[in-house]
């Protein structure tokens, strides 16, 4: 691999990395001995008519073949063990690194790209390690060994071996140099194809609702055609190796037979020695074909190693390690000081010059239309994104100076899109507090108005399928809220987390949250005013700008946008 950083994943398999090529070299020694035995059988046995010598030589060939088989299987075992161990540890570290990245880093790379690199690219690297350990010493050893044995038999005839090997080396180098960039482009195009598949599978209902199946099929076909074109181009270049190898080596064999015939007539060589030279040239042919396949595999591995290391090169902005208590401070629970945020350097600002503060133990609402910047404000508080300008304070400390684990211990957020993981309801709820008892989990479920859902499903041990697809949208939202309530965070953020709930359930949920015994600071983000009208203070956002801050009654008097949102909601409710 070009980047030595990946070699460390073989550190626990040093024994296998040494034994696999050594056993392969031992196998090569046996193979190099075979032509000499055949030459002896011809010159000493067949030429003299000695049946005993023929049988003895044949027995030696059988023994060499049997021992070589055992040695080869042993080498394959060690190579496979090292390669699978390498991929296991690499994939483990890569997955852990991806989970350590922030939202902005993951957004920049793309989910489909990360999936491709942790699956397809790692598998290609595993195959590359396996092939490398098996062939990187064996093939050159046989090629050089065959050439040396040829010189030992006849130096003039052996010059043909030197010429053949030199020409093949040039061919292999040119193929490598041309093919690696194309293979990298093909892997990047694979990312795009995977992204299209992922989007179409997750948005299948929307595609059918708008009858856009043909458009999506056409878009996928274009991307797939590009990938196919690049793969074919790389395949054509790689495919040149085998025929070129056959042509060059067979030309060498033809030259060897001609020279061998001349040398036999001159009495410088025997028939057995010419046959041995022919066998050595054939061995070179077979090994160079294997070596050519190794080069193709390594080309793909080099391209994949670059892509994997690109992920490792992405680092989240370093956080501080403040250990000052966030609880008990006299400072506001949350304070925004002229905060602006943009998701990409070239993008427009998602929020602009936002300033407010939230007192401890109070309830704060954020309301606005779609795209107003509500979720952006919510994601800045737990440090999922960093503010472009201005500062966000939690408990009087800048979010950038607080370690992630400490910040998340005190700030709990229920995302706009509810997500459950495969397992049981208990497993999902314990994400909030892994030491919570069943009674604590059920109490959190009661507060989230989902205890009936749990009982209907069969209790805390009820199975949750991948993505929570065996639960409705409202059930997933309530279980997500229960998961956060089980952690009892000091600051509780509900990011439009009741959008799938009916008004009665929503009202009961809000009543339960406001009556919590430990009095957290509650931030409710919503699109309808009924969800925030009971808050101590409400922030109104419109297109990323702060256009109102106050109580429900104050905003009805002073904020036209809030009045409009309030009126439209009540009209929809039939009030």
Label each residue of 492-522 as H, E or C.
EEEECCCCCCCHHHHHHHHHHHHCCCCCCEE
Q: What is the pTM of this model?
A: 0.70
239-270 pLDDT tens trace: 887 788 778 878 887 888 888 888 777 777 78
pLDDT, position 385 = 87
- For the segment 213-227, the average pLDDT, to the nearest whole number, is 90
Compute the C-alpha angle 108/113/114, nearest 5°. 85
pLDDT, position 343 = 85
- For the segment 83-102, the average pLDDT, to the nearest whole number, is 91
d(CA 381, CA 403): 13
If DSSP codes are grouped into helix, strand and coil, which group holds residue 251?
A: helix
Instruction: Please tell me the CATH code under which domain 334-418+491-573 is placed.
Output: 3.40.50.300
Range scoring the smallest mean pLDDT among 46-60, 63-77, 190-204, 534-548: 46-60
pLDDT, position 45 = 67
pLDDT, position 280 = 82
- For the segment 446-450, the average pLDDT, to the nearest whole number, is 90
Compute CA distances 470 → 190, 424, 475, whole Å: 31, 12, 10
Domain ranges, ordered by start, for the chain: 85-312, 334-418+491-573
pLDDT at 575 over 50: no
Contact 163, 252 (CB under 8 A): yes
Label each residue of 468-501 as H, E or C.
HCCCCHHHHHHHHHHHHHCCCCCEEEEECCCCCC
pLDDT at 86 over 90: yes
- Chain-centroid distance of CA 319 in Å reads 24
pLDDT at 320 over 50: yes
Compute CA distances 366 → 411, 480, 510, whole Å: 17, 20, 15
pLDDT, position 326 = 52
Question: What homologous superfamily does CATH list for 85-312?
Answer: ABC transporter type 1, transmembrane domain (1.20.1560.10)
Number of neighbours of residue 23 by Cβ within 10 angstroms: 22
Structure tokens at 52: 């005993």
If 0-12 CB within 10 Å is exposed, 13-18 middle and 19+ buried, where does residue 228 land? middle
365-413 pLDDT tens trace: 999 888 889 989 999 998 888 899 999 999 888 888 888 888 888 899 9
Predicted confidence band at 425 (pLDDT cuts at 50, 70, 90)? very high
pLDDT at 1 over 50: no
pLDDT at 319 over 70: no
pLDDT at 340 over 90: yes
- For the segment 348-352, the average pLDDT, to the nearest whole number, is 90
pLDDT at 70 over 90: yes
Predicted confidence band at 574 (pLDDT cuts at 50, 70, 90)? very low
pLDDT, position 194 = 79
Contact 495, 375 (CB under 8 A): yes
- For the segment 62-82, the average pLDDT, to the nearest whole number, is 91
- For the segment 310-338, the average pLDDT, to the nearest whole number, is 72
| 456: nearest Cα among 472, 434, 440, 444 | 472
* Mean pLDDT computed over every residue of the chain: 84
Pairing of strands 351-358, 423-424: unpaired
pLDDT at 334 over 90: yes
pLDDT at 84 over 90: yes
- For the segment 457-484, the average pLDDT, to the nearest whole number, is 89
Predicted confidence band at 88 (pLDDT cuts at 50, 70, 90)? very high
If DSSP codes are grouped into helix, strand and coil, which group holds residue 203?
A: coil
- The proportion of the chain whose per-residue pLDDT surpasses 70, expressed as a percent, equals 94
- For the segment 343-351, the average pLDDT, to the nearest whole number, is 85
pLDDT, position 47 = 60
Strand partners, 340: 389
């Amino acid at each position: 691999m070009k980047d030595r950083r990946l070699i460390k994943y073989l550190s626990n398999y040093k024994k296998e990395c040494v034994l696999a090529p050594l056993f392969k070299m031992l196998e090569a020694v046996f193979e190099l001995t075979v032509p000499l035995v055949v030459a002896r059988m011809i010159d000493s046995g067949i030429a003299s008519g000695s049946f005993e010598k023929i049988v003895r030589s044949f027995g030696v060939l059988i023994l060499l073949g049997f021992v070589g088989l055992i040695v080869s299987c042993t080498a394959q075992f060690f190579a496979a063990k090292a390669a699978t161990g390498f991929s296991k540890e690499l994939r483990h570290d890569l997955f852990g690194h991806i989970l350590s990245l922030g939202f902005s880093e993951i957004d920049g790379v793309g989910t489909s790209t990360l999936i491709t690199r942790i699956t397809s690219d790692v598998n290609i690297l595993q195959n590359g390690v396996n092939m490398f350990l098996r062939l990187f010493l064996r093939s050159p050893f046989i090629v050089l060994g065959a050439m040396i044995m040829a010189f030992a038999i006849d130096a003039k005839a052996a010059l043909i071996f030197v010429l053949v090997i030199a020409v093949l080396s040039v061919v292999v180098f040119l193929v490598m140099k041309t093919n690696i960039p194309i293979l990298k482009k093909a892997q990047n195009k694979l990312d795009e194809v995977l992204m299209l598949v992922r989007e179409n599978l997750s948005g299948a209902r929307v595609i059918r609702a708008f009858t856009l199946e043909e458009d999506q099929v056409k878009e996928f076909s274009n991307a797939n055609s590009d990938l196919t074109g690049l793969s074919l181009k790389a395949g054509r270049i790689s495919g040149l190796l085998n025929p070129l190898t056959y042509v060059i080596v067979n030309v060498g064999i033809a030259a060897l037979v001609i020279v061998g015939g001349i040398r036999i007539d001159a009495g410088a060589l025997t028939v057995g020695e010419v046959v041995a030279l022919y066998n050595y040239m054939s061995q070179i042919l077979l090994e160079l074909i294997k070596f050519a396949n190794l080069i193709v595999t390594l080309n793909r591995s080099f391209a994949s190693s670059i892509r994997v290391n690109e992920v490792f090169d992405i680092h989240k902005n370093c956080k501080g390690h403040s250990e000052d208590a966030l609880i008990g401070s006299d400072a506001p629970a949350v304070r925004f000081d002229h905060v602006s945020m943009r998701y990409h350097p070239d993008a427009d600002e998602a929020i602009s010059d936002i300033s407010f503060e939230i007192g401890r133990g109070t309830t704060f609402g954020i309301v606005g239309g779609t795209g107003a910047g509500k979720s952006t404000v919510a994601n800045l508080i737990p440090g999922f994104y960093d503010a472009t300008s201005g500062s966000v304070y939690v408990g009087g400390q800048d979010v950038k100076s607080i370690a992630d684990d400490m910040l998340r211990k005190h700030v709990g957020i229920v995302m706009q899109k509810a997500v459950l993981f495969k397992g049981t309801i208990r497993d999902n709820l314990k994400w909030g507090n892994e030491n919570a008892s069943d009674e604590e989990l059920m109490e959190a479920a009661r507060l989230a108005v989902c205890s009936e859902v749990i009982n209907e499903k069969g209790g805390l041990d009820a199975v949750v399928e991948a993505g929570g697809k065996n639960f409705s949208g409202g059930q997933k939202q309530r279980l997500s809220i229960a998961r956060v309530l089980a952690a009892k965070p000091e600051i509780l953020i509900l990011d439009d987390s009741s959008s799938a709930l009916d008004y009665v359930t929503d009202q009961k949920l809000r009543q339960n949250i406001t009556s919590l015994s430990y009095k957290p600071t509650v931030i409710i983000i919503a699109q309808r005013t009924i969800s925030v009208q009971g808050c101590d203070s409400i922030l109104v956002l419109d297109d990323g700008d702060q256009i109102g801050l106050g109580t429900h009654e104050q905003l009805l008097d002073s904020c036209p946008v809030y009045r409009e949102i309030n009126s439209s909601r009540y009209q929809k409710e039939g009030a």
